[in-house]
Amino acid sequence: MRPDVEQQRPLRILSVSAHPHDWTWFAGTLCLHRRARDLVTVCCVTHGGATHRERWLDEMTRPPGERDPAIVDEPLERYTAQKQDDMRRAAALFGIDDVRLLGFETSHS
């Protein structure tokens, strides 16, 4: 914590990451800024559905006859909505309530 925190205006911190999981690499630092009463915004550019859909990706490695339809057929929208909710709840654990989710698709090019 900054020793002069009571005398300075709060810093305005903006973190921008590509995928929902990525901001956790610096979540501890953002938490320290929140404890110092700085203003923190977490912005995630993509919905993460193509790169962090672990259960679906694991299921697709199985032979077609062994795949669980409940996992394979899960709508991407349901999955990304859950990811957004997970991200907001995780951010709240670090004292961050300003979470911006832009929801762009992940590009593979």
Give tens-digit pLDDT for 16-48.
999 888 988 999 999 999 999 999 999 999 987
Q: State residue 41's pLDDT score.
A: 98
What pLDDT is stored for residue 49 in this prediction? 79
CATH 3.40.50.10320, applies to 12-104: yes
Q: Which helix (H) or strand (E) holds 57?
A: helix 54-60
Query: Max Cα separation, the chain?
Result: 65
∠ CA 99-30-1 to the nearest 5 degrees? 140
Residue 53 has pLDDT above 90, yes or no: no
Mean pLDDT of the region 77-89? 90
Instruction: For the chain, give every domain's residue range.
Output: 12-104
- Per-residue pLDDT at 1 exceeds 90: no
| Separation of alpha carbons 99 and 88, rounded Å | 6
- What is the model's pLDDT at position 20? 87
What SS3 state is found at 29? helix
